[in-house]
Amino acid sequence: MHTPFHPEYNPLIRKLESIFTLTDDERQALLGLPMQVVALKENQDIVREGDRPNRSCLILSGFACAYKLTAAGRRQIVSFTVPGDIPDLQSLHLKVLDTGVSSISPCSVGFIQHYDLHDLCGSWPRIAAALWRETLIDAAIFREWVMNVGRREGYVRLAHILCELLVRLRAMGLAEDHVCELPITQGEFADALGMTTVHVNRMMQQLRVAGLIQTKGNRLTVPDWEKLKEAGEFDPTYLHLENPDEVAA
């Protein structure tokens, strides 16, 4: 049940370190956080909409998403996760989940009990503030997605989300310059962008023809970052990075 995760590999600590320098005590508290680590295959539900969980899930590796379903069963992905994210951290204060979370690629996930998180926040105010901050950044990303889906056309919309994913991966040290592994299918992009698979496919071809992206298997290469940013009207401000220039330049 209690499987401490090896320090070097805990992406939550890495993420917090990118915001401020942890004291030794704070780091110890985080390392001592009990966590049940589980390995998942792709397309497995981690939690479901309507659940009332007493724990939250930290994505340690791999890709996952939060999603909702319409009455007719159509899926809207409302966020992609990057390692270090806790896609249901809100359940710490909101009892019922209003989204499901499921793996997209094979994933490693760490479940943390809410009472352990409450203890952590009570004892370490800076960590509490940092976690609050993380949920606020999630909200900022949702706002940008509303804008993306509401007011940008398919071509721009797709370029934008590719920019976002690349920058977020780079911020966690998970992408080289302008190349990354992106095990997200066109159908999943469609569900995230409010489009159909067919249309995502066509817009992706346009991006390729325009020389803005290259794809090979799951590998995304961005030959001209400036042009892709321009095509996607991408301004990383909303990600509230500490070091935007290193990561989004």
Partner DNA sequence: CGAAAATTTGAAGAATATCAACGACGGTGG
Partner DNA sequence: CCACCGTCGTTGATATTCTTCAAATTTTCG
Residue ranges binding its own copies (CB under 8 A): 50, 66, 68, 70-71, 74-76, 78-79, 90, 93-96, 98-99, 122, 125, 129, 132-133, 135-140, 142-147, 149-152, 193-194, 233, 237-238, 240
Determine which residue in the list 19, 75, 197, 224 makes contact with DNA, applying CB under 7 A: 197
Tell the smallest beta-carbon distance from residue 148 to its own copies (Å).
9
Q: Total residues at the site for DNA (CB under 7 A)? A: 18
186 binds, among DNA, its own copies, none (CB under 5 to 8 A by kind): DNA
Tell the smallest beta-carbon distance from residue 78 to DNA (Å).
16
Task: Tell me, residue by residue from 154 to 173, as one string, x for binding to DNA by CB under 7 A and - for no binding.
Answer: xx-x----------------
173 binds, among DNA, its own copies, none (CB under 5 to 8 A by kind): none
Task: Tell me, residue by residue from 96 to 135, as one string, x for binding to DNA by CB under 7 A and - for no binding.
Answer: ----------------------------------------
DSSP the chain: ---PPPGGG-HHHHHHHTTSPPPHHHHHHHHT---EEEEE-TT-EEE-TT---SEEEEEEES-EEEEEE-TT--EEEEEE--TT--TTGGGGT-SS-SSEEEESSSEEEEEEEHHHHHHHHHH-HHHHHHHHHHHHHHHHHHHHHHHHHHHS-HHHHHHHHHHHHHHHHHHTT-SBTTEEE----HHHHHHHHTS-HHHHHHHHHHHHHTTS-EEETTEEE-S-HHHHHHHTT--GGGG--S-HHHHH-
Q: Does 90 bind DNA (CB under 7 A)?
A: no
Tell the smallest beta-carbon distance from residue 204 to DNA (Å).
5
Looking at the DSSP bridge assignments, the partners of residue 213 are none
Determine which residue in the list 39, 69, 198, 249 makes contact with DNA, applying CB under 7 A: 198
Q: CB 64: neighbour CB atoms within 10 A?
A: 25
Binding site for DNA (CB under 7 A): 153-155, 157, 185-187, 194-199, 201-202, 204-205, 217
